[in-house]
Structure 1
Amino acid sequence: MTTNEKIAALRAAAKAAGADGVLIMTSDPHCSEYLPGYYNALPWFSGFIGENSTLVVTQDRSALWCDGRFYVQADKQLAGSEIECMHAGSAGVPTVAEYLGSHFADGQTLLLDGSCVPATIAKEYIDALAKKGAALKSQDVASPIWDATGERPALPDTPCELLTPAQTGATAADRIAMVRAELQKAGATALAVTGLDCVGWLLNLRARDLPCTPLAVAYALVTMDACTLFIAPGRLSDADTATLAESGVTLRGYEEIIDAVHALPADEVFLVDEKATNYALYEALTAHKTVAGADPIFALKGIKNETELKNLRECHIRDGIAVVRFQMDLEKALAEGKQLTEIDIDTMLQKRRAEMPGYFEDSFSTIAAYGANAAMMHYHAEGDVNSAIEPRGFLLVDNGGQYDCGTTDITRTYPVGPLTDNERRYYTWVLQSHIDMARAVFLDYCTGFALDTFARGPVWAHKVNYRCGTGHGVGFISGVHEGPQSLRPNNPVIFKPGMTITDEPGIYETDEVGIRIENELECVDLGENQYGHWLGFAPLTLVPISTEPVLVDELSRDQINWLNDYHAHVYEMLSPRLNEDEKVWLKEKCAAIGR
């Protein structure tokens, strides 16, 4: 089926159900970022494979919303179809709610699968439609179309395992107690844990149900005297089942969560996070007493304990060695005149990571983007979309690994030949932005909103901006994108020691170049004085940053000092595990620069 035929099938299904349109989001019952293929319907229907998007199909038109990371990609992937690409956040572009208000009239109905839409979004759409006398109905008409083709993946059921306290620094019982304490503070007695990363953190549970994200499709339900894991039967070993039982955890079937909620006493008070709860489950929870508030696990897991931090530091040493060896391979291949493609870059990097102890998969699909392709922030080479690496310009490589001691995320932009003056300027500005964020010193009341401007200053000085946040939290053997902390203009979360964050400013000039430099940072305590409690960042990522493209005269003395200190630290941490040739190479890459 072509994209237009799939859209026509959605129209027909809506009409057969007595409705006037269908909405599909990139979401699942757990409000995940990376979805199990079973739930990822939007790419199949639209042809657009980016994240965080919404498709609306009415009886006479269709439109898809994407954010700034995917404008270029969406325009290309939707070309030739009837779907109108909506650049969310751009001037003159309506929001999804505004669009629904304009295209649905009195008596009309919009369908969506309530189990795959966050409650807060469903309620927003209900309100927008109600203003025009239209209604929203929870009904899944997309799945039968997809199922009938035989192309829909099965619901994942990979083997599960429990991380040990030596990895996480806590048992399930420890973490359940932490959650109960937070519920008491909130005036609640129960919590339905819906986020797969939250379930994983709570119970030390891991699996391979998601691409690049070692989590299990499951729910948990915590009350003051019980904890239940809802997961398909047979996925845990007898030993792990017994370990959970020792922490007071019982097991039930994955589909039983709503029935279990309904069966609880009427006086149970649920803490409900509308943003993290699908609409179908939300309706069950709100049949009880509720207290509105964020799932406390988001904040709890955002601060890594000392055991996790120790393991993460080891993880980044291993990952740094893999990336160093990859760069050596890359430089050798280019020097020998070998013809490489972007897919070759991915293969070369995976080979080096696979050699490292404890590595088991990438933390996301590698972005190897040559030249102008890197202007698409989440570009991915695949099939016929696979450029050759030419002996000029930049190659951007954004990737990460999942290890038995942590999760990594790193971007480097490598010069692969002569550079233009613009490319050197852009690279230098991005490096300045990266350094200013990494060397920030701030008081303990600063939010991600406040800190984001540390990075944007150097690019803003040239009236340049990037349409995304500066950084995101990273999970521990979990999702590569993790909250609640982030470095972005709308993030209100106060930074605390133990939080980890990426530092990844960039410049993306369509059809010209894309440049990004990314390290992971650990928020650290810098002590107190008469002015307050000071915090800063320490680098976790241990990979040299290319200095060949840098216009050194544009760097401040403090920026030069930071870069030289960082490279000295990289050499100190990695060199003991490298052979002599690798040490010589790394010493050259970590050589101090100066005016």
Structure 2
Amino acid sequence: MFQRFDDSTSPDQGPPRLKALRQQLEIESFDGFLIPRADAYQGEYVAPSDDRLAWLTGFTGSAGFCVVLRDIAGVFIDGRYRLQVKSQVDTTHFTPVAWPETKPGPWLKEHLPAPHVMAYDPWLHTLSEIESIEAAGVTLVTTDNLVDRVWADRPAPPVGKITVQPLELAGESHEDKRARLAAQLRDAGHDAAILTLPDSIAWLLNIRGSDIPRNPVPHCLAILHADASLDLFAASEKLTETGDHLGCDIRLHAPEDFLEALAALNGTVRVDKAYAPAIVPQTITAQIAFDDDPCILPKACKNATEIEGARSAHLRDAHAMVNFLAWLDEQQPGLTEIDVVTALEGFRAETNALRDISFETIAGAGPNGAIVHYRCTKNTNRALQDGELLLVDSGGQYVDGTTDITRTVVMGSPAREQQECYTLVLQGMIALSMARFPRGLAGRDIDALARAPLWRHGLDYDHGTGHGVGSYLSVHEGPARISRLSDVALQPGMILSNEPGYYREGAFGIRIENLIVVQDAPQMGDKRDQLSFETLTWVPLDRRLIAVDMLSPSERDWIDRYHATIAEKLSVQGKARDWLEAATQPL
């Protein structure tokens, strides 16, 4: 079993820990301290030793931060976590703050007396974050981590093994990747680039790691030079399985030597201020050129080998999902969310190819489905009731690809209102799936396509429509998104999620998610240069929830074609075969 269902935090733990942290503020004469969700690698998923936000507050969401002052502690959370934070945090001691609507800089300006001194750990915040707070007139100073001082039983940092991602799966050697990126550095007049994102280093060197669950990336740091050589800073015990893969152009160093190496750099050094910890530019004495991590865009644009791997991984995953959904339809009342998660993990494991789940499975029954990033525990576990909706968001990590899929199903017979809301979400997903758009547009330019059916009924959802997905890497990958906030132009090879939703607090949640890959659109009309999407996910929709009378002819045709393709692509046995045949019948 991959997922655990125990509650790792409790609201009761927060107050004494908050008190101990404030004692450190008194000792240092600081007015406050910043506690991010992120670790030094700016990862969404963090090792237990880096889970400071959850340890202090009880909040376990994948994004957010806490600002602890002498008399108030604000927990900043976005729209995905407005419900979750209420159940995990002691709100008599911690104050939930709507973010990004409320920025930390202005909030601090309002709550801090002048003069004021805020402290932060420069390993855990990017320069962009620090500059945005300082722009509000707040004085920030660096310090060692005050949470670590009072976290008596803090776990040790992970030392997971690094493995090789073979050429037949990567599609390009790390020598060629380094040469390609080094040429770009030389063209830009940069002598070196600092790499701090684990998935960037993993992609560049064709390696994978095991330091954190769910995302197969190694905790390490690197400096790429304009001559295509690279300095890799990683614990030696992690590298025992890489053999001769790295070669002589990659120099190995202990992690603790990283800052010394930064200080010794000459020429012009490229630093991505959006991802590199603030301590990086604070340590470099050479000239700094602030620019994007050179790996981010090439990593996002999958090559033909990676796309073919994604297709294979999604077909394998679809077989597991169909077996799961067929099983689910046979279950009697009394089935719980934990039962659902455990069964789905079992069906994925039966593929004999699953390396890990790609994130904690979300199985939200009834009102729990309205918690966007809900994770069931023994304390929250809910039995599925007749007539309720069940939202299941899950994915797998396979060596040839990363999957992420959401299906919402009804237990028993649906109410008309459930069908109407589901169909509006489905119409948005179809609109994005069918989209053709000019080359050069970004996620913000097409996000409205998925929301328009909901908007017409005064409805919406408080999360992005899509995120990038890695190739046996992070399930949430930058830089492209389908979101009103994303200005990154979409390019062929980018794998994205397409996941509109609708959530009614206390009642139900609906989300439908397929993964799609950006492709050159077949020419038509006046042969304008356009892009479109290829669907990667092949799992039936719940026909019981589709209000057919709300669909246009083109939407009905899309669903029927989608289901017919699923029936052609998938070959399952026994009762699952009968279930699939019924599930893919034309509307």
Task: Tell me which amino acid in the other structure corresponds to 2:316.
Answer: R
RMSD, aligned α-carbons:
1.5
1:358 to 353, 358, 369: 353
TM-score of the aligned structures, taking structure 2 as reference length: 0.95
Return the alpha-carbon distance in structure 1 between the equivalents of residues 327 and 92 of structure 2. Answer: 41
Return the alpha-carbon distance in structure 2 between the equivalents of residues 534 and 57 of structure 1. Answer: 49
Q: Does 1:567 pair with 2:567?
A: no
Return the alpha-carbon distance in structure 2 between the equivalents of residues 386 and 115 of structure 1. Answer: 37
Can you list the C-alpha shifts for 1:222-276, whole angstroms capped at 9, x where unaligned?
01232111101121126x2421015x212111222111111223xx211121111
Structure 2 unpaired stretches of 5+: 1-11
- 8 A contact 2:186–2:226 mirrored in 1: no
- 8 A contact 2:185–2:191 mirrored in 1: yes
Return the alpha-carbon distance in structure 2 between the equivalents of residues 57 and 358 of structure 1. Answer: 44
Q: How does 1:49-448 map to 2 (within 5 A)?
A: 49-90=60-101, 94-130=102-138, 134-146=139-151, 148=152, 150=153, 152-225=154-227, 226-237=229-240, 240-245=242-247, 248-265=249-266, 268-285=267-284, 287-334=285-332, 337=333, 339-448=334-443
Moved over 3 A (4+): 527-531
Task: Tell me which amino acid in the other structure corresponds to 2:143.
Answer: S
Cα shift at 1:126: 2.8
Identify the residue that residue 520 of structure 2 maps to in structure 1: 525
Q: How does 1:501-512 map to 2 (within 5 A)?
A: 501-512=496-507
Cα shift at 1:184: 2.6
Task: Tell me which amino acid in the other structure corresponds to 1:56.
Answer: V
Matched residue of 2:136: which SS? helix
Q: 1:135 to 1:306 in 2, by over 3 A?
A: closer
Task: Tell me which amino acid in the other structure corresponds to 2:557.
Answer: N
Q: Does 1:6 pair with 2:17?
A: yes
TM-score of the aligned structures, taking structure 1 as reference length: 0.94
Return the alpha-carbon distance in structure 2 between the equivalents of residues 528 and 189 of structure 1. Answer: 42
Can you list the C-alpha shifts for 1:458-496, whole angstroms capped at 9, x where unaligned?
111111111111011100111100111110001111111
Cα shift at 1:528: 4.1
Identify the residue that residue 592 of structure 1 maps to in structure 2: 586
Identify the residue that residue 548 of structure 1 maps to in structure 2: 544
Return the alpha-carbon distance in structure 1 between the equivalents of residues 313 and 48 of structure 2. Answer: 28
Can you list the C-alpha shifts for 1:267-313, whole angstroms capped at 9, x where unaligned?
x211121111101112123x211222111211011110001011111
Cα shift at 1:531: 5.0
Q: Does 1:41 pair with 2:39?
A: no
- 8 A contact 1:393–1:420 mirrored in 2: no
Task: Tell me which amino acid in the other structure corresponds to 1:355.
Answer: E
Task: Tell me which amino acid in the other structure corresponds to 1:390.
Answer: Q
Can you list the C-alpha shifts for 1:170-196, whole angstroms capped at 9, x where unaligned?
111111112112223333121111001
Cα shift at 1:135: 3.8
Return the alpha-carbon distance in structure 1 between the equivalents of residues 291 and 114 of structure 2. Answer: 34
Return the alpha-carbon distance in structure 2 between the equivalents of residues 358 and 183 of structure 1. Answer: 38
Task: Tell me which amino acid in the other structure corresponds to 1:302.
Answer: A
Return the alpha-carbon distance in structure 2 between the equivalents of residues 362 and 68 of structure 1. Answer: 25
Return the alpha-carbon distance in structure 1 between the equivalents of residues 276 and 259 of structure 2. Answer: 12
Matched residue of 1:98: which SS? helix
Return the alpha-carbon distance in structure 2 between the equivalents of residues 557 and 79 of structure 1. Answer: 51
- 8 A contact 1:358–1:405 mirrored in 2: no
Cα shift at 1:411: 0.1
Return the alpha-carbon distance in structure 2 between the equivalents of residues 251 and 484 of structure 1. Answer: 28
- 8 A contact 1:400–1:408 mirrored in 2: yes
Cα shift at 1:584: 2.6
Matched residue of 2:258: which SS? helix
Matched residue of 2:534: which SS? strand
Can you list the C-alpha shifts for 1:147-187, whole angstroms capped at 9, x where unaligned?
x2x1x222111111010000110111111112112223333
Comparing 174-183 with 5-14, which one deviates more in the overlay?
174-183
Q: Does 1:579 pair with 2:580?
A: no
Matched residue of 1:2: which SS? helix
Return the alpha-carbon distance in structure 1 between the equivalents of residues 128 and 442 of structure 2. Answer: 23
- 8 A contact 1:126–1:136 mirrored in 2: no
